[in-house]
Amino acid sequence: MSTIAAVATPDAVGGISVIRISGPDAFSVCDKCFKAFNNKTAGDMEGYTCSYGLITDENNERVDDVVLTVFRAPRSYTGENVAEISCHGGRYITNKILRLVLNSGAVPAQAGEFTKRAFLNGKLSLTQAEAVMDIISSGGEAQLRYANALKNGSIFKRISKIKSSLVEILSSLAAWADFPEEDVPEVENDTLICQLSTVLNELIKISDSYDEGRIIREGINTVICGKPNVGKSTLMNCLTGYQRSIVTDIAGTTRDVIEESVRLGDLTLRLSDTAGIRDTNDVIEGMGVDIAFDRINEADLILVVFDSTSELDNKEHDLINKLKGKKCIAILNKIDGDLNINKDTLYSSFDYVVEISAKNYVGIDELKEIVRKLFLDHISDADEGIIANERQRSCVRGAVTDIEEAISILQCSDMLDAVTVVLDSALSHLMELTGERVSDTVIDDVFSRFCVGK
């Protein structure tokens, strides 16, 4: 296998840059361009030790004084010999040292290749490897907590228990089929259905955790809707902290969707300020209204805004009916004005109602607390393990489908051979999730989303 090298720190000016080298020739590559002040070579250094010295070029000219850190296989991140050169953090000097390393026998690392080697060398499961990028991209405490739990093996351990149950069931089926003359306990359909139902219920719970993981990782897809001039854009600006949406007294000012992400404690709201919902002869505004309803249907959370100084009209009553069964918070805006709205209608129609003045920042803390209760209070504990991405969800759903088919077969017949085939397929799906049985295409796709140097 080749020896790879890349800059592991961001492509920016900083105090220190790190060039990471991994592979069978990592130490000999360093020895060609690094001269330690104690005259020790990288090959002579013990693992987890550092050496201070110089990087020199082809003409033996000094380039920079650096610190070389050595990690010996298999006790390294990749499981291979690894060396890291810490130099001064200028872009030019960092790239020059990288070129010297490459000229000394290393090849440029591809995106995610260090972590890919860690996976291939058994240092990480595939789910743990995927968590590395989630840790890097964490934008809040909740994201970091769940990413760390995933890297520590939370979902791997949960899936491993299910795999063990399936392996035990498959072993019983194989023993009954292959050694009928031996004193092997008979496999009874009812018992098998009970065992598989337990496995199925656990897999469905794991599959259902996908939305929790998506919300923590990507944020809450939140739509602000309502008729024109109720204060939707003012609320958007209030939550973002600056004038993201244009606010005027002219109805229909917002025609397209205005989007912005906002941190709300441990959560991220991916806000969409939509066109005011009303009947209009304006073609462009009408398209905006249609888009608003599309966004409402796709949203994780709907903030529907009402003007407390105006009575509810027929369009708003229609909107209230369309939002039944969706996760909504009714926003009663302009409470510092003259009250003309029938508040009882809103309180009887929505589980959550908050009275605010977006213009004067009144009631915003209460709104944030309701959002937190709606999402964070019902999310599983990080250590329980939740699905982190669509690949993992697809694997779990494949196993769910197979086990449902196995139960269906058992309920209609005693074709245990067919059940064995289907359960073996379910086990393959779970092994693909953890990376124990996975194609090169899947591996390449997973690590292609990584940054170079990691």
* Last residue of one domain, picked from the residues 328, 360, 378: 378
With beta carbons less than 8 A apart as the criterion, state whether 6 and 109 touch: yes
Lowest mean pLDDT, pick from 35-49, 235-249, 422-436, 438-452: 235-249
- Taking phi first (over 0 means left), then psi (-120 to 50 degrees means alpha), and beta for anything else, what does residue 79 get? left
* Together in a domain, 237 and 359: yes
- Whether pLDDT at 128 is above 80: yes
Q: 261-283 burial, b for 16+ CB within 10 Å, e for fewer? A: ebebebbbbbbbbbbbbbebeee
* Together in a domain, 421 and 308: no
pLDDT digits (tens, 9 = 90+) for 169-196: 888 787 765 555 555 566 678 888 999 9
* 145 lies in some domain: no
Residue 242's pLDDT is: 52
* 47 lies in some domain: yes
Residue 409's pLDDT is: 92
Residue 65's pLDDT is: 96
Residue 290's pLDDT is: 63
* 373 lies in some domain: yes
* Together in a domain, 394 and 317: no
Residue 276's pLDDT is: 63
* Together in a domain, 371 and 222: yes
* Together in a domain, 95 and 108: yes
Total domain count, the chain = 3
* 166 lies in some domain: yes
Identify which has the larger pLDDT, 419 or 218: 419
- Whether pLDDT at 80 is above 70: yes
* Together in a domain, 165 and 238: no
What is the three-state SS of 64-117?
EEEEEEEECCCCCCCCCCEEEEEEECCHHHHHHHHHHHHHCCCEECCCCHHHHH
* Last residue of one domain, picked from the residues 378, 412, 433: 378
* Together in a domain, 12 and 100: yes
pLDDT digits (tens, 9 = 90+) for 226-266: 888 888 888 888 888 755 544 434 344 443 457 787 877 66
User: The domain spanning residue 103 has which CATH number?
Assistant: 3.30.1360.120
Q: 201-234 burial, b for 16+ CB within 10 Å, e for fewer? A: eebeebbebbebbbbbbebbbbbbbbbbbbbbbb
pTM for this entry: 0.74
* 139 lies in some domain: no
* Together in a domain, 222 and 200: no
Cα 120 from Cα 355, distance rounded (Å) = 55
* Together in a domain, 236 and 362: yes
* 67 lies in some domain: yes
* 138 lies in some domain: no
pLDDT digits (tens, 9 = 90+) for 326-383: 899 999 999 988 888 999 999 999 999 999 998 888 998 898 889 888 887 666 666 7
**Tokens (6 digits) for 257:** 């969707």
User: The domain spanning residue 355 has which CATH number?
Assistant: 3.40.50.300
pLDDT digits (tens, 9 = 90+) for 277-312: 655 555 455 566 667 777 888 888 999 999 999 999
Sort strands 62-71 and 82-88 into parallel, antiparallel or unpaired.
antiparallel
Tell me the residue range of the domain where 37 lies: 4-120
- Taking phi first (over 0 means left), then psi (-120 to 50 degrees means alpha), and beta for anything else, what does residue 252 get? left
**Tokens (6 digits) for 33:** 């361009």
* Last residue of one domain, picked from the residues 325, 358, 378: 378
* 137 lies in some domain: no
* Together in a domain, 311 and 290: yes
* Together in a domain, 361 and 232: yes
User: The domain spanning residue 420 has which CATH number?
Assistant: 1.20.120.430
Identify which has the larger pLDDT, 399 or 139: 399
Residue 182's pLDDT is: 54
* Together in a domain, 351 and 228: yes
